Structure 1
Amino acid sequence: MKTQVLIIGAGPSGLLLGQLLHNAGIDNIILERQTPEYVLSRIRAGILESGTVELLREAGAHRRMEAEGLVHDGVEFLVDDRRIPLALKTLSGGKSVMVYGQTEVTRDLMQARSEAGAQTLYGVSDVALHNLKDGAPYVTFTREGEACRIECDYIAGCDGFHGVSRKAIPAGVLREYECVYPFGWLGLLADTPPVHHELIYAHHERGFVLCSQRSLTRSRYYLQVPLTDNVQTWTDERFWEELKRRLPQELAGKVVTGPSLEKSIAPLRSYVVEPMQYGSLFLVGDAAHIVPPTGAKGLNLAASDVNYLYRILCGVYHQGRQDLLSLYSQLALRRVWKGERFSWFMTRLLHDFQEQSAFDRRMQQAERDYFLGSQAGLTTIAENYVGLPFETVR
């Protein structure tokens, strides 16, 4: 088999890139080791930046999002028993965010790709990348017991942190940057109405709280917990009790409880590799970077990578602009590092770090007082939360 662009990974970034390329007349095939059902079973975040929303519209996978997604013009911070509204739309020059689950984004992109007749091969194994530097790349894999090979011009590694793409780059080429946080997030998903119409980010002496949502009838709550905690010890009853302890009485009394649909503990870390390109291989999304979820940047940074790679490949195939290929890593990384900074900042601002010094605690309090107590500080948070603009590829 042959194609112009081979995409490894049928998560939202791989599917979004594939749909954009298909619409632009650029042939592509997606390889995925899991089944479609497994891909759709993964529960992920659901806050879409304005730029991500526009990309989904450009891909033609926007109709259900616009019908069912919830536009949010603000969020709320809860610090020292004070409720501080953050007017996203007002402070960011008219931008908002969309609450729409990543699972639903993936479902919509799968449907768009199926309707377009573009090819996705699920259930592949033994994926290996070859000839990444000599201009004649190809990928080998096994499917239904048969050895397969696809020749291509370029490979997009959209297969996540544990995928094969980044591992195909020789040792010593990539520089790794990492920060591991000393706590995790215990998340619970339930078919209960949200406690508030906007998301609430709360700092509490017992640990951080996020009151989020997937729809008007489905809520997602998170609690900061030690990494040593086991999710099996967190019954639904214990979770709801702890959530209410970390919220002021006026909010705690409005919490509607119910059986959990999903419950898990996720560790938090920041991670980046440089560069994001090696020969004909381009790393996209979690294959190149991880962020703590505090800033709602994981899926959105992946979409940012897709934006740059898509526009570069359009320039290559439509205008013969081979010179654009070398710009991918620097364009993507500039926005990645800004997203990493914001996620790191939000994590430092709102979580309890038990091992930090008395000085660090005072500095953390001063940060909260400034950023949540001044127009300039709130504007900075709002501009980053709705998503910084994409640079023009030229």
Structure 2
Amino acid sequence: MIGGGPAGLLLARLLHQSGIDCVVLENRDRSYVEHRQRAGILEQGTADVLRACGAGERMDREGLVHDGIELRYGRRAHRLDFVELTGGRRVLVYPQTELVKDLMALQLDHGGAPLLFEARALAVTGADTDRPRIHYSHQGREQTLTCDYVVGCDGSHGITREAIPERARRTYERDYPYSWLGVLADVPPSSGELIYTHSERGFALFSMRTPAVSRLYLQVPNGTDPEDWPDDRIWDELEARSAVDATIDATIDAPREATGDAPRDATGKDAPWRLERGPIAAKSVLPLHSRVTEPMRYGRVLLAGDAAHIVPPTGAKGLNLAVADVTVLARALAQRYETGATELLDAYSATCLRRVWCAVQFSSAMTTTLHIAPGQSPFETRLQLARLDRVTSSPHAAAELAENYTGLPVG
């Protein structure tokens, strides 16, 4: 595997459990990998996979279970109850940095597959042969690793994708006309569940990393310099975009005053809404893209996670798609090595792409519905509000969003 992020580490763990030898090559050093800030929302199925592979103990102890989300628009707050809408499914907030540490500890401390840090993959050759090769540099020497299969878990800027000839691959992509200003604030979250807001001023998302650290996002123009956003301006804009007059339960018409017992805290109890302010520890700007490369397999080279697809973070799908990919791939490789059969391996790309395109559609719909595009007309804004009204007034539409958010079946 090329890439020691969640996809590569989880695949290595799953293959180890099946008795399949593998090697993970990671370009960066261990400290860098353990501190990369990424997504933190785990679907129900993702959490189940992590538990099954032995990486769930700390996640279950420290992760924050979420039974729903809140949508705010038109100065109203609407809570969607995932447990009720999906028959018991929920999500878990657990920082990717901590997940990587857990998987890495399993790899290094419990007899896992070899994991080489600062091993930079230079090229993959022989994809259409039965012995593909990885050319890489490690400890000042260029070396070659000959494999049965090469799996690219090396992200959107990795080199594995280039091993698929240009004539044999196709990339579908979209760049969105806005970005996110993301901040980490040393302040307890203002709500026990995520809040997605649509306002004339633009989109905002209220999330968290831990009970003491908030993760917050504001829609900003592409090319924004985060230094143009001092702390007070960020807090004022978050306040303006989150303003509500009342809270309404999804599919229930009776409003409740927002200053009463509307939002819920981390224990599930009702609590009044108030934006908690505090010191901002980090800020950065994240452009939004959708991209899918097909196929996800060419000969003996396979792609997983961001190497094959990226989505805007609005739908919280990036990490979860990577976990779904390697779960499917681990089953396929186990079948191949245990029985010699290749049916699951031959179907890998098609199996994953069905789920990938559903997630791309969901993420794109969430993004375009909640953000205000440059030059957007009043007509287009009214269409967005109509879509949101449909979600918050129809049990069927609300259930569809909840099912997508908590995760579609793998495979």
TM-score normalised over the length of structure 2? 0.91
Q: Supply the AA of the counterpart residue of 1:78.
A: R
C-alpha displacement at 1:233, in angstroms? 1.1
| Letter in structure 1 aligned against 2:204 | V
8 Å contact 2:156–2:308 — kept in the other structure? yes
Match of 2:315 in 1: 295
1:257 is aligned, of 277, 282, 292, to: 277
2:116 maps to 1:121: yes
**Who is 2:198 aligned against?**
203
- Counterpart for residue 247 of structure 1: 242
* Aligned partners of 1:20 and 1:58 also within 8 Å: no
Which ranges in structure 1 are unaligned for 5 or more consecutive residues? 1-6
Q: Which stretch of the first structure deviates more once superposed, 350-359 or 215-224? A: 350-359
5+ unaligned residues in a row in structure 2: which ranges? 245-258, 264-271
Identify the range of structure 1 (166-175 vs 20-29) with the bigger mean alpha-carbon deviation: 166-175
Hey, what's the Cα distance between the residues in 2 that align with 1:137 and 1:168? 10
Deviation at 1:253, TM superposition (A): 7.2
Percentage identity across paired residues of the two chains? 47
Which of 309, 314, 324 matches 2:329? Answer: 309
Aligned to 1:213, what secondary structure does the other structure show? strand
2:268 aligns with none
- Residue 76 (structure 2) pairs with residue 82 (structure 1): yes
Whether 2:354 is the aligned partner of 1:334: answer: yes
- Structure 1 residue 175 and structure 2 residue 195: aligned? no
Q: Is the 8 A contact 1:291 1:340 kept in 2?
A: yes
Shift of 1:81: 0.9
Structure 1 position 127, deviation (Å): 2.3
After TM superposition, the structure 1 = structure 2 runs for residues 269-284 of structure 1, keeping only pairs within 5 Å, are: 269-284=289-304
Per the TM alignment, residue 338 of structure 1 is displaced from its structure 2 partner at its CA by 0.4
Shifted more, 233-242 versus 248-257: the winner is 248-257
Alignment match of 2:130 (pick from 112, 132, 135): 135
CA deviation string 1:195-225 (max 9, x = no partner): 0111101111101010001121111010001
After alignment, is 243-252 or 310-319 more displaced? 243-252
Q: In structure 2, what residue type is equivalent to 1:123?
A: E
TM-score (norm 1): 0.95
> How far apart, CA to CA, are the structure 2 residues paired with 1:98 and 1:169?
35
* Structure 1 range deviating more: 239-248 or 11-20: 239-248
Contact kept in structure 2, 1:24 and 1:314, CA below 8 Å: yes
Among 138, 147, 150, which residue is 1:152 paired with? 147
Please, which moves more after superposition, 93-102 or 358-367?
358-367
Deviates most, 133-142 or 247-256: 247-256
The corresponding residue for 1:353 is 373
Moved more, 246-255 or 130-139: 246-255
- Among 375, 393, 405, which residue is 1:373 paired with? 393
Number of residues of Structure 1 aligned to a counterpart in Structure 2: 385
Contact conserved, 2:2 with 2:153, CA < 8 A, in 1?
yes
From 330, 333, 341, the equivalent of 1:321 is 341
Q: 1:341 offset after TM fit, Å?
A: 0.7
Question: What is the RMSD of the two structures over their aligned residues, measured on CA atoms?
Answer: 1.5
Deviation digits for residues 1-40 of structure 1 (CA, Å, limit 9, x no counterpart): xxxxxx0000011001001111111111000110011112
- Alpha-carbon offset, residue 369 of structure 1: 1.5
- CA drift at 1:366: 1.6
The amino acid across from 2:313 in the alignment is: P
What is the DSSP-based 3-state SS (H/G/I as helix, E as strand, rest coil) of the residue aligned with 2:24? strand
Which of 221, 224, 237 aligns to 2:219? It is: 224
Partner of 1:235: 230
Look up the match of 1:3: none
